[in-house]
Amino acid sequence: MARIINIFKQINFKQLRFSKQRCHLCNWTLQIKLCDDEMGIRCTRCGASAVSQSLAQVFKKSTQSDHPLKVYELSSTGPFVKYLLASHHHVTLSELIDDVPLGEYVNGVICQDVQNLTYKDETFDVCTSSEVFEHVENDTRGFREIYRVLKPAGKLIFTVPIALNSTTIERTRLINGQREQILPAEYHSDKLKGVGKVFCYRNYGFDILQRLQSVGFSYTTIVIPDKNELFGLGRPVIYAEK
């Protein structure tokens, strides 16, 4: 019911459109644009947004393999998680859960902090995430941890809000061990934690690739979405290979 109410809240009747393009997650061929926003684009069957579909499109193209892949996704809910669980046998899901020790399970989901993962080196073939790293205090440390737990030639495929015509803008800084705002505090919404509950440390720009290269990734690129798909509102996807 809450999902239906949320959908109604998003509708802008002047911008409402339908399309018969295929969903990149569930292959259903009816998409709706509730409003001119990437989160207002939804598959009418699985509910995947333009962000999830852009991520799934790049994931599918770059993970074709004859052997089963070990996939690590930095969340535990939503259409992309359902797609991963339906299409891969070895999927690890995690969340950063308040007041739970790292490595412990709550309702079947393991608690992990991407800056300090409990996994051994070279555990996974692919790591995915959606809208996570802008909320990670030390994102370079997070990228380094992902690099460590990926197997040789492993892939990190993810989305963050990104401005391709700008460099990254840090919204906070550390002074004598104290974190202070440079720009007004910004909060984003999260499926588990709620609306406006997750602190945003930065607004990424194209130099995100340099951060990935600095921890060792040998090939990095930003995959630009096709303007003819997803009502022209697809999301750039960051791709990095160990």
Provide, rounded to whole angstroms, the least separation between the CB of residue 222 and Zn ion.
24
CA dihedral in degrees (115, 120, 121, 124; nearest 10)? -90
Whole-Å CA distances, 86 to 55, 80, 90, 132, 173: 16, 10, 10, 22, 41
* Residue 23 in contact with Zn ion, rule: CB under 5 A: yes
Provide, rounded to whole angstroms, the least separation between the CB of residue 49 and Zn ion.
10
Considering only residues 44 through 73, tell me which ones interact with Zn ion, judged by CB under 5 A: 45-46, 48
| Count of residues of this chain found to bind Zn ion when the rule CB under 5 A is applied | 8
Task: Choose between 26 and 109: whose C-beta lies nearer to Zn ion.
Answer: 26
Provide, rounded to whole angstroms, the least separation between the CB of residue 127 and Zn ion.
23
Provide, rounded to whole angstroms, the least separation between the CB of residue 23 and Zn ion.
3
Provide, rounded to whole angstroms, the least separation between the CB of residue 19 and Zn ion.
12
Task: Choose between 41 and 223: whose C-beta lies nearer to Zn ion.
Answer: 41
Provide, rounded to whole angstroms, the least separation between the CB of residue 183 and Zn ion.
36
List CB contacts of 196: < 8 A, sequence separation 6 or more. Answer: 187, 188, 189
Provide, rounded to whole angstroms, the least separation between the CB of residue 228 and Zn ion.
18
Q: Which stretch binds Zn ion (CB under 5 A): 35-43, 80-88, 127-135, 230-238?
A: 35-43
Q: Give CA–CA dist 60/64, Å, rounded.
A: 7
Report the interhelical angle of 79-87 vs 50-62 (nearest 10°): 30
CB atoms within 10 A of CB 187: 13
* Residue 206 in contact with Zn ion, rule: CB under 5 A: no
* Residue 41 in contact with Zn ion, rule: CB under 5 A: no
As a whole number of Å, the end-to-end CA separation of the chain is 43
The helix (H) or strand (E) run that includes residue 37 is none
Residue from 34, 41, 43, 149 that binds Zn ion (CB under 5 A)?
43
**How far is C-alpha 191 from the chain's CA centre?**
12
Residue from 7, 19, 21, 28 that binds Zn ion (CB under 5 A)?
28
Q: Which residue(s) pair with 18 in the sheet?
A: 32
Task: Choose between 82 and 193: whose C-beta lies nearer to Zn ion.
Answer: 82
CB atoms within 10 A of CB 205: 15
Task: Choose between 23 and 58: whose C-beta lies nearer to Zn ion.
Answer: 23
Strands 109-111 and 90-95, bridge-based pairing: parallel
Q: Give CA–CA dist 53/50, Å, rounded.
A: 5
Q: Which stretch binds Zn ion (CB under 5 A): 16-24, 95-103, 193-201, 221-229?
A: 16-24
Q: Which positions lie near Zn ion, rule CB under 5 A? A: 23, 25-26, 28, 43, 45-46, 48
